[in-house]
Amino acid sequence: MDVSYEGTKREIGTDKGVIRYHEACAVDGRHEHGDCDRPVLILLHGSGPGVNGWRNYRGNLGFFAETHHTYIVEFPGFGVSDPVEGHPVLTAGGSVIRFMDALDIASAAMIGNSMGGVVGINLAVKHPERVEKLVTIGGVGPNLFSSSPSEGLRLLQEFTDAPDRDKLVRWLNSMVFDRSIVTDDLIEERWAAANDPDAQKTAAMMYGSKAFAMMQEFQANSDTPPYWAMMHKVKCPTLLTWGRDDRVSPPDMSLVPMRLIPNAELVVFPNSGHWVMIEAKDAFESSVRAFLTR
């Protein structure tokens, strides 16, 4: 379908600042937005240097807009939507609910990449009436056989503690199976975005050495179970997607959510790292469409 998805960016005010997003719905070969009589699909992005929703999903928006009224939500603290106080994973979940309320979206299917998958899991547990179906891309569950932190997370931590371009390149290379994806343009785009003050603050809260040490201590001394221990409460149909060569979230992590989530399916894509929606684009989109439209 010959549809342009440039110029899809919108914004909406909430009681905790402006949330920016992308919106698309393809109708009879035309790009439409607003009044679109299609099931709603919300795309939730991951974390890391220079990340945002558009960079995660710009290559997939057109495909999903053919069957769904599709939104890419930009989480607070990543240099696009207005920042809010609090831990980024928790503020991301709250922003999704505020976004849905502002647009009068009662419930939706959701796709979450990495951190976005954790956000989706938490929403499905705490607000089950808002999540109709859930697709995750890596990132959910505990490390069973692989080391923790993984190679990719250690490289991310090194970059966060003392950012420089070479560390960014090493981290980007750990995200993919095919290193040709890490082009000079991608490096420059991510380097420029990673220098945003809000993005740096968010990264330090999530991946800095001090933050990681505090989280380890909290988990060791807390009576609060980790999010993955609550995954048996996810009632919606769930599709877990994974790259077989993921060095950020190794595929052994998929075993716990596959077992705990009652209605979970697992698809593993060969020759793909952490960015399945990019490296295994056609197979990923085909699998997700079959799941969403079943």
Evaluate whether the domain defined by 9-145+226-293 bears CATH number 3.30.413.10. no
Q: What is the pLDDT of residues 223-247, one digit of tens each?
A: 788 889 999 999 999 999 999 999 9
Q: Would you kindly state where each structural domain of the chain is located, as residue ranges?
A: 9-145+226-293
Dihedral, CA atoms, 98, 197, 160, 211, nearest 10 degrees?
Answer: -60
Q: Which helix (H) or strand (E) holds 69?
A: strand 69-73
Distance of alpha carbon 143 from alpha carbon 105, whole angstroms: 35
Distance of alpha carbon 13 from alpha carbon 243, whole angstroms: 36
Strand partners, 135: 111, 239
Pairing of strands 69-73, 17-27: antiparallel
Q: What is the pLDDT of residues 65-121, one digit of tens each?
A: 999 999 999 999 999 999 999 988 889 999 999 999 999 999 999 999 999 999 999
Report phi then psi at 164, rounded to 5. -155, 165
Cα–Cα distances (Å) from 138 to 159, 252, 269, in that order, read: 21, 10, 11
Q: Which two tokens stand for residue 255?
A: 């075993």
3-state secondary structure of 145: coil
Confidence band of 210 (pLDDT split at 50, 70, 90): confident
Q: What is the pLDDT of residues 279-292, one digit of tens each?
A: 999 999 999 999 99
The residues that are catalytic are: 274
The whole-number pLDDT of residue 223 equals 75
Q: Is the pLDDT of residue 1 over 60?
A: no
Q: Which residue has the tokens 């994806």?
A: 181
